[in-house]
Amino acid sequence: MYAFQSKYIVVEGAIGAGKTSLVLQLSKRYQARTILEVVEENPFLPRFYEDIKGYAFRTQIFFLLSRYDQQIKATQQDLFQQLSFSDYMFAKDRIFAHLNLSGNELAMYEHLFQIMCRDIPSPDIIIYLRASTNLLMKRIMLRDRPFERRISFGYLERLNNNYEDYFNNKQNFPNSKLITFNADELDFVGNKRDLELICEKLQQKDKE
């Protein structure tokens, strides 16, 4: 089995890109730990997509605190000192915040985020799953989570654009290596060759 130099690898992408599915495949392949985001625990999320403006700040702050708590616990347990795959990076919270918040709410969020991010380790490698908005919407509809049923195509398109802008700017993740895959062209759950391709590229990136 390949021995990674990297210890903390995250898979990122917009809602429905396949982050958790890929993390589970990779952690099984490399016998690594997983750090999975718990989305369903946010009590404001079901109302958020019904009234984005009214529930954006509460939803965003809950996610920020929840993700911070999980990352700090992982750090204290030395999970980042052994090979770990996660289906989110702490900084992804900011991608959503800049889509959902504005004015004083965004300023307050930024103040909190900048304080918290000092304590969070950067991923060694980020796997970015780029996906078309059509694919994202299709997958969201197929998995049929109750709180995601009101996600509009327009909202998803804006989120997808924000992800593209974020990962096109290396200054957003200066301490992490980036590898990008087109999720529209890969089936890493049903096609072993596609998973092998991802593993090969990941191992190459680890050696750089």
Structure tokens at 142: 């197929």
Is 44 part of a structural domain of the chain? yes
pLDDT tens readout for residues 143-193: 999 889 999 999 999 999 999 999 999 999 999 999 999 999 999 999 999
d(CA 85, CA 83): 7
Is 1 part of a structural domain of the chain? no
Percent of the chain's residues with pLDDT above 70 = 99
Give the residue numbers of the binding site for ATP: 13-21, 139-143, 186-188
- Catalytic residue status for 194: no
Is 94 part of a structural domain of the chain? yes
DSSP letter string, 61-123: HHHHHHHHHHHHHHHHTTGGGS-EEES--TTHHHHHHHHH--HHHHHHHHHHHHHHGGGSPPP
Is 123 part of a structural domain of the chain? yes
Confidence band for 77, pLDDT divided at 50, 70 and 90: confident
pLDDT tens readout for residues 38-69: 888 899 998 999 999 999 999 999 999 999 99
Is 3 part of a structural domain of the chain? no
Q: Structurally, how many domains does the chain consist of?
A: 1
Give the residue numbers of the binding site: 13-21, 139-143, 186-188
Is 2 part of a structural domain of the chain? no
DSSP-assigned letter for residue 32: -
Within 8 A by CB and 6+ apart from 141, the residues are none
pLDDT tens readout for residues 34-45: 999 988 889 999
Domain range for 35: 8-207
Q: CA–CA distance from 183 to each of 18, 33, 63, 116 (Å)?
A: 8, 23, 25, 31
d(CA 76, CA 15): 28
From the candidates 51, 69, 87, 124, which is the catalytic residue? Answer: 87
Whose tokens are 């299709």? That residue is: 138
At 20, which CATH number?
Answer: 3.40.50.300
